[in-house]
């Protein structure tokens, strides 16, 4: 691959159009010629230190390319993510472990980037997002291969690298497929990126179209949950109240669970039937004094009524009532006549 396809660090100068690309006195992106160093730009005068740093960085990249190296070191602040995400967040624990490995042994595998199509002097990741995040934590440059890539070439490289190295979960791969489809990539490109056939792709797209994105993101990557179980969840959702499910996932206790456990919590909530309240054969009323020494329950069913008297003084109170039934009945009957 020609070196001009690896990286662009300068802009052609019409005045030196016939000069050698590596030796011509072309202006470097972000480098201000000496005659302009004191000229205010946007109301702000660039400091000599900043200009020198940019010039030295450009010279260093040119030097690495001149030596025939295909792997160069780039300030991670100049590198942007891919235009399509293939992950549901980055596990902070695994990121810390990766940062520690790079700190101890160096970055063994470079990332792949392309010159940013919309921002001169910047780059865009094809693959290696976790490695990029790890070196940012360490505050060091990232080792990268820079290539000219079309959008199609970028997503295929991104997908194939992940298939080979990182074991993305089923739902992350399915989300990646749908995001590519939403950007009008062909099914052939998506299948090449994921290394799957047409039938598998159709099932992936179907799952994501049935399960709301916000629900998938709230559950997380769920690395142990495969296609079959995601399809089962999709079949449960038409009869479910998704807002209630999202409310469940927003509870602190549920958030503290692992992603796989959150998936199971959702399935349990959608498949567990609420306990039925035992049916009463009739109306039930109860009474108790302030000291709770007696408890009286009245249960009615049509023409039948049952009185139960319990608690500490229940038996004594029942005997007291029994001895006065004639008077109680007479009192009640007089009230009915009135």
Tokens 């209630």 correspond to: 244
Structural domains of the chain ordered from first start: 69-167 (3.90.1530.10), 169-273 (1.10.10)
**For residue 178, what are the CA distances in angstroms to 193, 213, 243?**
12, 11, 23
**For residue 333, what are the CA distances in angstroms to 299, 303, 304, 321?**
21, 18, 18, 17
Question: How confident is the model at residue 22, as a pLDDT?
Answer: 39
User: Please, what are the averages of pLDDT over each run of 10 residues along the chain (338 residues)?
Assistant: 40 38 40 44 50 57 49 94 86 88 92 93 92 94 93 92 76 94 94 93 95 94 94 92 92 91 93 61 70 80 79 80 84 77
Question: How confident is the model at residue 8, as a pLDDT?
Answer: 40
What does the DSSP assignment read for 126-144?
Answer: EE-HHHHHHHHHHT-PEEE
Question: How confident is the model at residue 172, as a pLDDT?
Answer: 93
Give the count of alpha carbons within 13 A of 154, CB side only: 24
Question: How confident is the model at residue 272, as a pLDDT?
Answer: 79
Q: 13, 27, 9: which is closest to 121 by C-alpha? A: 9
């Amino acid at each position: 691959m020609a070196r001009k396809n690896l990286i662009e660090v300068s802009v052609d100068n019409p005045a030196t159009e016939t000069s050698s690309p590596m030796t011509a006195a072309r202006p470097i992106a972000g480098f201000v010629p000496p005659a302009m160093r004191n000229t205010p730009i946007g109301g702000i005068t660039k400091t000599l230190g900043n200009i020198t740093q940019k010039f030295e960085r450009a010279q260093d990249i040119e030097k690495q390319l001149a030596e025939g190296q295909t792997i160069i070191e780039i300030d991670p602040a100049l590198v942007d993510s891919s235009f399509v995400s293939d992950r549901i967040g980055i596990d902070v624990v695994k990121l810390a472990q990766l940062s520690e490995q790079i700190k101890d042994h160096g970055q063994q595998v470079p990332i792949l980037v392309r010159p940013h199509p919309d921002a001169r002097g910047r780059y865009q990741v094809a693959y290696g997002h976790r490695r990029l995040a790890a070196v940012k934590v360490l505050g060091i440059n990232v080792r990268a291969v820079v290539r000219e890539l079309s959008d199609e070439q970028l997503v295929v490289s991104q997908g194939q690298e992940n298939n080979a190295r990182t074991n993305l979960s089923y739902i992350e791969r399915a989300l990646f497929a749908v995001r590519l489809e939403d950007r009008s990539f062909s099914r052939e490109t998506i299948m090449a990126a994921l290394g799957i056939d047409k039938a598998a792709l159709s099932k992936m797209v179907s799952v994501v179209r049935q399960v709301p994105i916000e629900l998938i993101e709230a559950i997380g990557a769920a690395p142990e949950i495969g296609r079959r179980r995601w399809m089962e969840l999709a079949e449960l959702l038409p009869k479910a109240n998704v807002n209630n499910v999202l409310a469940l996932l927003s509870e602190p206790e549920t958030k503290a669970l692992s992603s796989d456990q959150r998936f199971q919590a959702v399935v349990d909530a959608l498949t567990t039937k609420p306990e039925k309240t035992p049916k009463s054969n009739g109306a039930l009323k109860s009474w108790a004094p302030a000291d709770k020494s007696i408890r009286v329950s009245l249960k009615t069913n049509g023409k039948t009524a049952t009185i139960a008297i319990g608690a500490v003084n229940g038996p004594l109170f029942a005997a007291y009532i029994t001895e006065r039934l004639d008077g109680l009945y007479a009192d009640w009957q007089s009230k009915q006549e009135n």
